[in-house]
Amino acid sequence: MTGDDRYARQRLIPGWDQDRLAAATVVIAGVGALGNEVAKNLALAGVGHLLLCDPDTVAPSNLSRCVLFSAASGDPVGRGKVQVATEVLHRLAPQTRVTGRTRDLTTGIGLGELADADVVVGCLDSVRARLDLLSRCALVEALLVDGGTGSWGGEVRIRRTTVEGCYACTLTTRERGRSDVPWSCADATGDHAAAAMVATTALIAAQLSLAVLGEVVGRPADSGIIVFDGGTGQTRRVEVTRDPGCLHHRPLGTREPVVAGSRSTVAELAAELPPGAEPQAWTEFIVPGAPGERPRTTSRILDAAGDTRLCDLGIAPAEVLPVRTTEGDYRWMRLSS
Ligand SMILES: [Zn+2]
């Protein structure tokens, strides 16, 4: 340790391992208020690689809670959240490599990337997005540290394996199917307006960051859900019983690597597959219709023209694709990065 070591103080923490942090990759899904704060914390602490994903642009209402947007050069309003955050993080912590994806979660981050990450952090603001992230993490058994804020507190949910009960297990079937409205998890009023302020954001983001840092340096937090009441300072652990009807407990089987990546063409992918195999995308895309007919949506990758790049169909890097075989069952093919 030297006097000009920016990590000198945190190296004094018993069990700390700066090298493990420098080698770690953390996915941050959602770069709103929580995502800003978590990304700032992890970058300052020296996490080596952050993968940020958010499809949205900066709005004026973000500025009271988002440290990275407030520190942007020029007016960040209207610019992509991921782009602004990436620029500011580079100034704040140049040793941290930041990969940004201005896309929604499913098209932005491949299942292989979730599987490879040391930790996936959920910083999302709708039930639908949380369930999507939970579902994709469950498919590859990625460790998920998920947060949500309410008016004066919030929740932190840690899910380590698909054997455990999960956030979705705590919801009713109707809630699991609800539409994609911003919904503050911890707001006991049930009001769908996502009330929030920076102090609450900082409280929950600190807990998420501690969970990530602890995990990486070998001091893992327990799985489960903890509710924080910022007004009283009290915390409460929620016992989660696994719901047999919850669908988020079925990891994929063996993943077979292929040479093709998301920048490969449909034809290049097809050349690697057995005859008759049908690779599918996780989200639908539009292909031209037959002569005289309108364009149509499909998830069959081979419906796209052979020279189309997979990324242009919304397929993320290192995605794991379901491939239906001629026998009618599925194999799981992992694209290269
Ligand atoms: Zn569940």
Which tens digits make up the pLDDT trace of 148-168?
Answer: 999 999 999 999 999 999 999
Q: What is the pLDDT of residue 1?
A: 52
Q: CA–CA separation, 37 vs 111, rounded Å? A: 25
Neighbours of 126 (CB within 10 A): 20
CA of 250 to the centre of ligand 1 (A): 10
CA of 263 to the centre of ligand 1 (A): 34
CA of 97 to the centre of ligand 1 (A): 33
> Which CATH architecture fits 8-238?
3-Layer(aba) Sandwich (3.40)
What is the layout of strands, in order, in the sheet containing 296-300? 255-261, 330-336, 320-324, 278-287, 296-300
CA of 170 to the centre of ligand 1 (A): 7
CA separation, residue 331 to residues 59, 135, 178 (Å): 42, 18, 30
Q: pLDDT by residue (tens digit) across 88-112?
A: 999 999 999 999 999 999 999 999 9
Reported pTM: 0.92
CA of 83 to the centre of ligand 1 (A): 33
Where the chain has pLDDT below 50, the residues are 179-192
CA of 161 to the centre of ligand 1 (A): 11
Q: pLDDT by residue (tens digit) across 183-236?
A: 333 333 343 457 889 999 999 999 999 999 999 999 999 999 999 999 999 999
Neighbours of 309 (CB within 10 A): 15
